Amino acid sequence: MQDWLVEVLVTYKEVAVVISLLVNILISIFGVIPSVFITAANLLVFGFWKGTFISFLGETIGAILSFWLYRKGFKRVVGNKLNKYPLVSKLLNTRGKDAFLLILSLRLLPFIPSGLVTFASAVGTVSLIVFLFASSIGKIPALLIEAYSVDQVTNWTTEGKLILSILSLVGLIYIIRNISKNQKENK
């Protein structure tokens, strides 16, 4: 996917930024597709800082549009069903400063899916303005870490090799634990 996107961005360089933003917005709306491949493509085509900025802009615009669409499409349906669960209800009813800090914190955590944070915020009571600022501020360090990691891996530096080794080890541990868990459940 990344190679295809790089090819498209290079081929249509006059509108490459617009294409990149549109792809990022679509990824945000779908909410389950990782954005790391578009970040990698942006870094390869535009360079580190410009590529990171374009990724940030695309993710921010995508988050705002996703928030608006999710709120219009899911708030009434999902909100009423989730209110039956006290902990979820508390999260969905967080407002103001508490909502800002919660969204900011969740954006800083790299293992929390961005689409999940946007969806929970949209079906909750947080305002668009609070979501916009908390989400955007939280995306800055998270995206810088992602961009740095992608840059190191694509340039195959020592840090990139270390990052891939750690990710491989974590993936291997995860697979072994799941296999072990499944074996215990089947006995």
pLDDT tens-digit readout, 68-104: 999 988 877 776 666 666 656 666 778 888 888 888 8
pLDDT of residue 165: 84
Q: How far apart are CA 139 and CA 117, in angstroms?
A: 12
pLDDT tens-digit series, residues 23-42: 999 999 988 888 888 989 99
pLDDT of residue 90: 64
Q: Quick check: helix, strand or coil at residue 68?
A: helix
Whether pLDDT at 157 is above 90: no
Domain borders along the chain are 2-155, 156-187
Q: How far apart are CA 145 and CA 165, in angstroms?
A: 17
Q: How far apart are CA 17 and CA 71, in angstroms?
A: 28
Mean pLDDT of the region 37-56: 93
User: Confidence band (pLDDT; 50, 70, 90) for 183?
Assistant: confident
Assess contact for 137 and 104: CB atoms under 8 A.
yes
